[in-house]
Amino acid sequence: MKANGTDRTLDDLRVEIDAVDSRLLQLLNERADLVHEVGEIKKQKGLEIYAPEREEKLLQSLVKKSQGRLPEKSIRAIYREIMSAALALEENLKIAYLGPEGTWTHQAGRNKFGASVEYVAQASLADVFEKVASRQADYGVVPIGNSTDGGVSRTLDYFSESDLQICAQVNLLGDHDASSSAARFLVLAHNSCPPTGKDITALLIHGDADGLLSGAMKILADLDLKVTQIDGRQESDSEKLSCVFVEVQGHQTSANMVKAIDLLVATGKKVRVLGSYPATGAYS
């Protein structure tokens, strides 16, 4: 192999790789020191250590800056672990998920938080919600598609019964078809995210079963709000919908989103904003 007009042996290349690794290690430690300072400031101000909106902006920026061989998937995977290690240094984050270990929900959690934080398997969706609500876990990961605990209807029930917010979404697009509900997961928290400029807002809309979905969709469409996902809960022993879960492009604080929510309420619907979070994957 030739580079810069000189022959390099396998041993030569390995020496160069070792030198690069030494520089990388030094830089990673410097980065950890800076992250620690950020963490101290956040603690003083009572801010959340984990910031999904900052994370996604950083990942998108790194992908754009990259001029080398690494594809986006690899860049995201590498930095996911770098950020996971930093989170573990600042606070021993606990992530509750629908278990057991090795489920798709567990994989979704690892895709979002990396391998350095603590994962706590839960036997049911109710347990995941309870662990986060009682602050025995910092975040929770739940499927919004099919699950072993009643599917999307049960997930919507637990949202109705809790004050938790959605702060992030996870799409396992590498393992499932993008249109499959089984590929979609939500991260539960006590707060959602500030605007990033590329957001999704989740709404839970209750109302009269007749025309609930069509009426809600018309209001959103009239305000040029694009719906990226719809899931519904049926009334008992009926094919009619009693509530719908929709994900809409845009942040809950945007003028059109605020107007849409007001119009939904004015037409007799009960609306709960479940959170706004960075758009990722197939919906970004």
CATH number at residue 225: 3.30.70.260
Domain that holds residue 225: 197-279
Inform me whether the pLDDT recorded for 178 exceeds 50: no
Inform me whether the pLDDT recorded for 179 exceeds 50: no
Run of H or E residues at 231: strand 227-234
* Across 246-267, average pLDDT: 94
Highest mean pLDDT among 157-161, 176-180, 239-243, 256-260: 256-260
Task: Using the 3D structure, point to which of 23, 57, 88 is the last residue of a domain.
Answer: 88
Q: How many residues can be counted in the chain?
A: 284
The verdict on residue 44 lying in a domain is yes
Number of domains the chain contains: 2
Helix (H, G, I), strand (E, B) or coil at 284: coil
The structure's pTM equals: 0.79
The verdict on residue 68 lying in a domain is yes
Highest mean pLDDT among 38-52, 137-151, 182-196, 261-275: 261-275
- Mean pLDDT across the chain, nearest whole number? 84
Residue 131, amino acid:
K
Inform me whether the pLDDT recorded for 150 exceeds 50: no
Strands 241-249 and 199-206: antiparallel
Task: Using the 3D structure, point to which of 88, 107, 125 is the last residue of a domain.
Answer: 88
Asked which of 50-54, 185-189, 199-203 is least confident by mean pLDDT, the reply is 50-54
Task: Using the 3D structure, point to which of 88, 118, 140 is the last residue of a domain.
Answer: 88
The count of other CB atoms within 10 Å of the CB of residue 223 is: 17
Residues 230-251 have pLDDT tens digits of: 876 655 555 566 788 899 999 9
- Is the backbone peptide bond immediately before 195 cis, with ω within 30 degrees of 0? no
Inform me whether the pLDDT recorded for 176 exceeds 80: no
The verdict on residue 96 lying in a domain is no
Residues 43-77 have pLDDT tens digits of: 888 777 788 778 888 888 899 999 889 999 899 88
Structure tokens at 251: 């942040």
Q: Looking at residue 97, what is its pLDDT?
A: 95
The verdict on residue 234 lying in a domain is yes
Nearest to 166 by CA among 185, 147, 148, 149: 185
The verdict on residue 76 lying in a domain is yes
Q: Tokens 């996911």 identify what position?
A: 80
Inform me whether the pLDDT recorded for 181 exceeds 50: no
Our CA angle for 139, 141, 145, nearest 5°, is 155
Burial of 68 (0-12, 13-18, 19+ CB in 10 A): exposed
CATH number at residue 82: 1.20.59.10
Distance CA 263, CA 146 (A): 31
* Across 257-261, average pLDDT: 95
Residues 97-141 have pLDDT tens digits of: 998 999 899 999 998 998 888 999 999 999 999 999 999 999 999
